[in-house]
Chain A
Amino acid sequence: MKRPLLSVEKLSIEFGQGSESKRVVDDLSFTLNPSETLCIAGESGSGKSLSALAIMGLLPKMARVPEGVILFHDEDLVGLSERRLQHLRGREIGMIFQEPMTSLNPTMRIGDQMLETVRRHKLATGAGAHKHIRDMLEAVKIPRAGDRVRQYPHELSGGLRQRVMIAMAMLCQPQILIADEPTTALDVTIQAQILDLIRELQAEFKTAVLMITHDMGVVAEMADKVVVMNQGVVEETADIRKIFTSPDAEYTRKLLAAVPRLGTAPTRVPQVFGEPVLEVSNLRVRYPMKSQGLFAPAREVMAVEDISFTLHQGETLGIVGESGCGKSTTGRALMNMVDFEGDVRVMGTNIRGLKGAALKKQRQDIQMVFQDPYAALNPRKNIAELVGEPLLIHRRGTAAERERRVAQLLAQVGLPEADAMTRYPHQFSGGQRQRICIARALALNPRIIVADEPVSALDVSVQAQVLDLLEELQKDYELSYLFISHDMAVVERLCHRVAVMYSGRIMEIGSRDQVLRNPRHPYTKRLLAAVPVPALDRKLTPAPLDETEAPNPIKAKGHVPPAVRYEQPEEGHFVAVSV
């Protein structure tokens, strides 16, 4: 029998010493063969990333490995000398990380960072080294590789930076490539390209890939074998087919059930909604930019350009799009947190330019829930103060009345415990914190809630619960949601209508089924095609890398972009046509 390339046996990782120690990975075993892709899948806190770092010998100082071996060929990587590990890292085992924006040294040119690896492992010298770098950049399909080597990381987009990371990790043609959530921080269309690239390089160089991911869609896309981890323990190890057809572990089944799958939500009968609560017409947001010189013309970033839509009572409108498309700016404009042009009518009142008391009054009707529940709650205030703060600001009721209201709100969002009020945000999990944020947004009985990626920071199982809560609250209070998200599957699950934004404009808007099941605009089609599906045999065919990234939004002040005309292929379905 052929021996595996890498074999992890009964690996445990602990933090701290003695009785204080906490076991974060327990009894992990798996093998990895040449040319194979193994995915370690799990939610946050499963210990999947630490396991990858243990293989590299890059565990944080506080962590130690009390038991287990990591055999690479005949060598045990656990307890190997730093010198020997340095020799293996980058040369035999390469690694790429989750955050391409922060994983490259900002003060070093791309070429120099790559050259370092080449020199360290004595791959080539002089002109040969430079050629090797350019070849590798071309292998990861970076356009104009010759120019890129002289650029600094901040001059490249996230997708290109991740390509640079991959090129750097592949320089020595390592036998193993460890990819820790390599596409989590990227837009779906870029994700599809990066996954495809990894597959291609793997085939070319016969590399074994160890992929760490929380996304079952990515697992289905990439894996030959899967290790499902939960709270440091292996729930199941099986080949991909078994995981998706007949998983053994209860946890795997739950995980797969919780993943929202694009295209699986039942078709909706068209609903009739109440009065319009939010009417947006010709909304435009531009951020001023510093001019480039004394006499250079003033410039602006066109963040949102001439968009219009209506939201009715009890309705959820999803705004989807990739990073930089203007979806979050739209949300901020509706909250009057940025200056805008055009009309935004909340309950019939135009909110443009409202200040002071009028603005405060208007905010009772429209409230916001943010993406990161960890950052959105002041850590020094307890839950009663946080949820009660809107009431205090708007001088609602007496102290006793406010307390009753807070208790009622917490019960509504599923945190009925009596002691919740006196606890602080850090004592709650991410999902609970997002519930607290929702309770706070509900405090003033708003009619509209703007939710900006409210479940993106949460694990899938928690995501499902928060989405359920949002639906329940909508039913009970006839709330209207503006649901901003990059996640098509979540939008499909929750929204009645969907608007697709690109480069500051709405490309397509209509009922959920019209836009997601019968997309008309090429951009919508591309976006939908790039979403990985957590099911077998539905591999993505990524669109060929086109370098026409979103048009540069920086324009001279007062620039008038060409108008967009909308066609209406069916009732209520509008598609942008460039003129």
Chain B
Amino acid sequence: MMPIYILRRLGYAVLILLGVSFITYLLLYMIPADPARQLAGRSATAETVANIRAQLGLDLPFYQQYFHYLMNLIQGDLGRSYIQRTEVSALISSRLGPTMELMAWGIGFELLIGVSLGMLAAIKRNTAIDRFLMALSFVGVSSPHFIASMLFLYLFAVNLDWFPLGGYGEFEHVLLPALTLGLLGSGWYSRMVRSSMIEVLEQDFIRTARSKGLTRLRVLFRHVLPNAIVPVIPMIGIDIGIFIGGLVVVESVFGWPGLGQLAWQAIQRVDIPVIVGVTMISAVAIVIANLIADLLVPLVDPRIELDKS
């Protein structure tokens, strides 16, 4: 059952990636920025620009450019960066490690903060605590990453000096960017966990658990939480896309040498192969995260079968 399910999901993944590559390529083709002019510099003659354009194959019609890219992609070739003149795959692999590290911490904080605040709000529902937490989560979901990152950087790193200003390497470096991602992303989860918990708290089996004489904590963690978390798990997969959007900004603000920063720099200089490469990697991450999330659900709730698409 499960291998067939995974194979089918991976089949869909190929189609998704094909679509993502096409749309990204098309959008980049249509934007008014001209990579050749960017490369040639301000003072370059029209002839130099045309030369560079021909060199990069940018003078070809769109379908030829895309087809060319696709053929290379199938062979595992993501192309070369226009600016850095190195393989995109090499650029990506050198940045993948730091990004994974930041993502792991970020998602960890996001879930830790989101789930605990959601639980607290559900237990204290319709009290001042609940209303305060929900207001807070609303601020969280609606704050733009670039403002929040800079605010946190100024407040906690510059003024209070609790964290380093930026950089990479030590554990202390990852904390502030990860907390920023976690705090901003947690609003989503706390709201979801809250409503899901409230629903489960009303269920008959919670009354049964209490009638057995179990302590409140035991009822909460053994009976309420596992059932309340079930609808939240698939959301983690869906949230990855939004999370990566925030990652690009946070990495750039904190000078984190990851894929987000790479993407940010590439966008500024219209480095098309790098942009498409990073987009493809993100799409792969989203697809895998969703698959893992969907595989996890039946482990928590045995009633759910994988096949129910």
Q: How large is the interface on B (under 10, 10 to 19, 20 to 34, 35 or more residues)?
A: 20 to 34
Do residues A107 and B212 form an inter-chain contact, with CB atoms below 8 A? no
Q: Give the total number of A-B pairs whose CB atoms are below 8 A apart.
A: 81
B32 is an interface residue with CB less than 8 A from chain A: no
Q: Cβ of A108: which chain B residues have Cβ within 8 Å of it?
A: 222-223, 226
Interface pair B205/A103, CB less than 8 Å apart:
yes
Task: Map CB proximity to B onto A89-111 as digits: 1 under 8 Å, 0 otherwise.
Answer: 11100110101001111111000
Residues of A within 8 A of B213 (CB): 85-91, 117, 120-121
Known contacts A104-B205, A105-B227, A107-B302; A89 and B307 CB within 8 A of each other: no
Tell me, yes or no, whether B301 is within 8 Å of chain A by CB. Answer: yes
Interface of B is mostly: helix
Q: What is the bound-complex CA distance between A105 and B210, given in angstroms? A: 12
Among A82, A106, A117, A152, the residue within 8 A (CB) of B212 is A117
- Say whether A293 contacts B1, CB under 8 Å: yes
B233 smallest CB distance to A (angstroms) = 12
The contact string, 1 if C-beta is below 8 Å from chain A, for chain B 207-222, is: 1111111111010001
Give B208's nearest chain A residue, CB to CB: A103
7 pairs of residues in contact across A and B, judged by CB atoms under 8 Å? A58-B210, A104-B208, A105-B205, A106-B303, A116-B212, A120-B215, A294-B4
The A-contacting residues of B in range 279-309, CB under 8 angstroms, are 300-303, 307
Chain B residues near A89 (CB, 8 Å)? 210-213
A380: chain B residues within 8 A (beta carbon): none
For window 112-134 of A, CB contacts with B under 8 Å fall at: 116-117, 120-121
For residue A460, CB closer than 8 A to chain B, the reply is no
Closest A residue by C-beta to B301: A107
Report the separation of the CA atoms of residues A30 and B48 in the bound assembly, to the nearest whole angstrom: 101
Q: Contacts A152-B303, A294-B4 given; indicate if A105 touches B214 (C-beta within 8 A).
A: no
Q: Does A381 contact B (CB under 8 A)?
A: no
B43 at the interface (CB under 8 A from A): no
A41-69 near B? 1/0 per residue, CB < 8 Å: 00000000000000010100000000000
Chain B residue numbers with a CB within 8 Å of A56 are 211
Q: Which 10 A-B pairs have the closest CB atoms?
A: A90-B213, A89-B213, A90-B212, A102-B204, A95-B211, A105-B205, A103-B204, A152-B302, A117-B212, A86-B213
Q: Is A165 an interface residue (CB 8 A)?
A: yes
How far, in whole Å, are A120 and B230 apart by their CA atoms in the complex?
Answer: 26
For B305, give the chain A residue with the smallest CB separation.
Answer: A290
Across the two chains, which residue of chain B brings its CB closest to A83? B215
Instruction: Tell me if A168 counts as interface (CB < 8 A to partner B).
Output: yes
CA distance A139 to B65 in the complex (A): 76
CA distance A114 to B1 in the complex (A): 31
Check A120–B227 contact: CB distance below 8 A.
no
Contacts of A102 in B (CB 8 A): 203-205
Question: Which residue of B has the minimal Cβ distance to A58?
Answer: B210
**Complex CA distance for A165 and B4, rounded to whole angstroms:** 37
A95 to B212, CA, bound (A): 8
Q: Which residues on B sit within 8 Å (CB–CB) of A294?
A: 4
Q: How far is the CB of B130 from chain A (nearest CB, A)?
A: 14
| Chain A, residue nearest B212 (CB) | A90
User: Across the interface, which residues of B come within 8 angstroms of A91, CB to CB?
Assistant: 213
- Are A293 and B214 in contact, with the CB atoms below 8 A? no
Question: Is the pair B302, A106 in contact by a Cβ cutoff of 8 Å?
Answer: yes
Distance of A531 Cα from B265 Cα, bound (Å): 78
Say yes or no: A293 contacts B4, CB within 8 Å.
yes
Chain B residue nearest to A154 (CB atoms) is: B303
Give the CA-CA distance A71 to B227 in the complex, in Å.
36
A116 touching B302 by the CB < 8 A rule?
no
Among the listed B4, B211, B303, which residue makes an inter-chain contact with A94, where contact means beta carbons less than 8 Å apart? B211
Distance in angstroms between the alpha carbons of A169 and B211 in the assembled complex: 9
A58 touching B4, Cβ below 8 Å? no
What A residues does B203 contact at CB under 8 A? 102
Q: Contact between A58 and B211 (Cβ–Cβ < 8 Å)?
A: yes
A86 touches B303 (CB 8 A): no
- Distance in angstroms from B258 CB to nearest chain A CB is 37
* A249–chain B nearest beta-carbon distance, Å: 31
Cα–Cα distance between A88 and B218 once the two chains are bound (Å): 16
On whether the beta carbons of A290 and B214 are closer than 8 Å, the reply is no
**In the complex, which residues of chain B have a beta carbon less than 8 angstroms from the beta carbon of A168?**
208, 212
The digit string for A514-530, where 1 denotes a CB below 8 A from any CB of B, is 00000000000000000
- Given contacts A86-B215, A102-B205, A154 and B210 within 8 Å (CB-CB): no
- Chain A residues closer than 8 Å to B4, beta-carbon distance: 293-294
Rounded to whole Å, the gap between the CB of B214 and the closest CB of chain A is 6
Cross-chain contact A107 with B226 (CB below 8 angstroms) = yes
> With a CB–CB cut-off of 8 A, which chain A residues contact B209?
105, 116
Give, as a whole number of angstroms, the nearest-CB distance from B298 to chain A: 11
Residues of B contacting A290 with CB < 8 Å? 307
Bound: A380/B265 CA distance, A: 55
As a 0/1 sequence over residues 92 to 112 of chain B, the CB contacts with chain A under 8 angstroms (1 = contact) are: 000000000000000000000
A345 and B293 alpha carbons, distance in the complex (Å):
51
Contacting residues of chain A (131-157) with chain B, CB-CB under 8 angstroms? 152, 154
Further pairs besides A103-B204, A152-B302, A154-B303: 11, Cβ < 8 Å:
A58-B210, A86-B213, A89-B211, A90-B212, A97-B208, A103-B207, A105-B227, A106-B205, A116-B218, A165-B208, A169-B211
B210, A99: Cβ atoms under 8 Å? no
Residues on B with beta carbons closer than 8 Å to the beta carbon of A116: 209, 212, 214, 218, 222
Does B300 contact A107, Cβ atoms closer than 8 Å?
Answer: yes
- The proximity string for B residues 179-212 relative to A, scoring 1 for CB distances below 8 Å and 0 otherwise, is 0000000000000000000000001110111111
Q: Which residues of B contact A154 (CB under 8 A)?
A: 302-303
- Asked if B227 contacts A97 (CB within 8 A), the reply is no
Q: How far is the CA of A476 from the CA of B15 in the complex (A)?
A: 65
List A contacts of B222 (CB < 8 A): 108, 116
Q: How far is the CA of A154 from the CA of B227 in the complex (A)?
A: 14
* Min CB gap A292→B, angstroms: 8
In the assembled complex, which residues on chain B have CB atoms less than 8 Å from the CB atom of A152?
302-303
Q: Are B204 and A97 in contact (CB under 8 A)?
A: yes
* Minimum CB distance partner of A98 in chain B: B204
B303 touches A120 (CB 8 A): no
Inter-chain contacts of B204 with A (CB < 8 A):
97, 99, 102-103
Please name all residues of chain A whose beta carbon is closer than 8 Å to the beta carbon of B214 when the two chains form the complex. 86, 90, 116, 120
Residues of B within 8 A of A97 (CB): 204, 207-208
- B195: min CB distance to chain A, Å: 18
Specify which chain A residues have a CB less than 8 angstroms from the CB of B207 in the assembled complex.
58, 97, 103
A178–B81 CA distance with the chains assembled, in angstroms: 74
Instruction: Please report the C-alpha to C-alpha distance between residue A345 and residue B168 in the assembled complex, in whole angstroms.
Output: 79
Min CB gap B201→A, angstroms: 10
